[in-house]
């Protein structure tokens, strides 16, 4: 039965083009990873401005790899040529589409409904959601069996881990296919059950939520907390990391995990983040979050 399913499903060699939806922090890194692995990559965003910033950032990421000696000039040229951009969803025609837009169920469902039609139900629809159950995203689709979670980590062109999450209707053969695809990107797949926040974001919630509480209780400053955590061996402190992730994105994920666990107090989102978002201070991407960044 299993082999039969796999026989009728797409093979890795049949994936030649990848659609990446959302040209923000994650879409940029995912597009670079796909292009470096040799896939034709079409990057779509509703915002022309986001597309322009996305393209600039992608060039910068690849240039940094060249200057660090990690990428040859030839590979740089090849990768850049593989990436095209569009602000027309109807142009997102690909065997595999990876969605990386805002952490909002309705927006993701609406997009997937469109993408399923555009691709005549023949594509794999993967979501980079950090916390929304795949089963919920897929329930609006004609073929929920073709929907799966592919959760990359930030920065996506550098970080090796990808959580592969199957919804209740996901075809088992698709899990295998996405593990192969992940390996083709030079990354490591970990299969995870469909539950709020999956593994990494569920465990990591306390790194952020508790640090925000420590700040709220004025135990020490946020810079002090970052310094302590770095000294304790973490690569980054929680506030630096929230700035890198995007405070809006981090807040949306906490809210989603909080809702997913029936408002368990331990996941309660912090007002500090809410305030920062209201002020437009979203972190590195907006030039200011907990810290200030030059806009260069
Ligand atoms: N930032 C992280 O560290 C991180 C890590 C892993 C997963 N994620 C997840 O990845 C997804 C994207 O996060 P991000 O940090 O890249 O967000 P972001 O805010 O940097 O970028 C989101 C992009 O999506 C675009 N967009 C919004 N609605 C759209 C639509 N309907 N169609 C096309 N484009 C649309 C926006 O214009 C924006 O450019 C979220 O689900 C998030 O939870 C984020």
Tens of pLDDT, residue by residue over 114-136, are: 999 999 999 999 999 999 999 99
> Quick one: pLDDT at residue 5?
47
Local confidence band at 1 (pLDDT 50, 70, 90 cut-offs): very low
CA of 5 to the centre of ligand 1 (A): 32
Structural domains for the chain? 2-192 (3.40.50.720), 200-284 (1.10.1040.50)
CA of 284 to the centre of ligand 1 (A): 14
Query: Does the beta carbon of 176 sit less than 6 angstroms from any atom of ligand 1?
Result: no
Q: Which atom of ligand 1 is nearest to the CA of 108?
A: 31
> Quick one: pLDDT at residue 294?
80
141 Cβ neighbours under 8 A, 6+ residues apart = 112, 113, 116, 125, 147
Tokens for 182, please give them: 């992940």
69 dihedral zone (left: phi>0; alpha: psi -120 to 50; beta): left
> Quick one: pLDDT at residue 8?
64
> How far is C-alpha 277 from the geometric centre of its chain's CA atoms?
20
Instruction: Give the Å distances, CA to CA, from 265 to 46, 161, 206, 210.
Output: 36, 29, 11, 11
To the query of whether residue 271 is one of the catalytic residues in this protein, the response is no
Residues 248 and 202: their CA atoms lie apart, in Å, by 17
Average of per-residue pLDDT across 63-83: 95
Closest residue to atom 8 of ligand 1, CA basis: 130
Local confidence band at 295 (pLDDT 50, 70, 90 cut-offs): low
- The catalytic residue among 151, 171, 250, 270 is 151
To the query of whether residue 16 is one of the catalytic residues in this protein, the response is no
**pLDDT above 70 for 231:** yes
Of 164, 155, 157, nearest to 185 by C-alpha is 157
CA of 16 to the centre of ligand 1 (A): 24
**pLDDT above 60 for 11:** yes
pTM for this entry: 0.93
**pLDDT above 70 for 296:** no
Question: Across the chain, what does the average pLDDT equal?
Answer: 95
To the query of whether residue 163 is one of the catalytic residues in this protein, the response is yes
């Amino acid at each position: 039965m299993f082999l039969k399913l796999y026989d009728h499903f797409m093979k890795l060699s049949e994936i030649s083009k990848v659609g990446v939806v959302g040209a923000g922090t994650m879409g940029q890194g995912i597009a670079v990873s796909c292009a470096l692995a040799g896939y034709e990559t079409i990057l779509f965003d509703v915002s022309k401005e986001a597309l322009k910033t996305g393209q600039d950032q992608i060039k910068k990421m690849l240039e940094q790899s060249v200057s660090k000696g990690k990428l040859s000039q030839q590979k740089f040229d090849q990768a850049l040529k593989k990436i095209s951009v569009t602000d027309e969803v109807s142009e997102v025609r690909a065997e595999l589409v990876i969605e990386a837009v805002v952490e909002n169920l309705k927006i993701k469902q609406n997009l997937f409904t469109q993408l399923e039609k555009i691709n005549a139900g023949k594509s794999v629809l993967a979501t980079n959601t950090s916390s929304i159950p795949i089963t919920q995203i897929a329930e609006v689709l004609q073929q929920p069996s073709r929907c799966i979670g592919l959760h990359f980590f930030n920065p996506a062109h550098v970080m090796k881990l990808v959580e592969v999450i199957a919804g209740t209707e996901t075809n088992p053969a698709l899990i295998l296919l996405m593990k192969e695809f992940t390996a083709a990107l030079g990354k490591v797949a970990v299969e995870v059950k469909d539950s709020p926040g999956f593994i990494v974001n569920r465990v990591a919630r306390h790194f952020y939520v508790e640090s925000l509480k420590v700040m709220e209780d004025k135990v020490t400053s946020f810079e002090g907390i970052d310094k302590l955590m770095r000294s304790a061996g973490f690569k980054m402190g929680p506030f630096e990391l929230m700035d890198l992730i995007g405070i809006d994105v981090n807040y949306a994920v906490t809210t989603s995990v909080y809702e997913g666990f029936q408002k368990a107090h331990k996941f309660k989102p912090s007002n500090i983040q809410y305030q920062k978002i209201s002020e437009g201070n979203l972190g590195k991407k907006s030039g200011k979050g907990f810290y200030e960044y030059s806009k260069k």
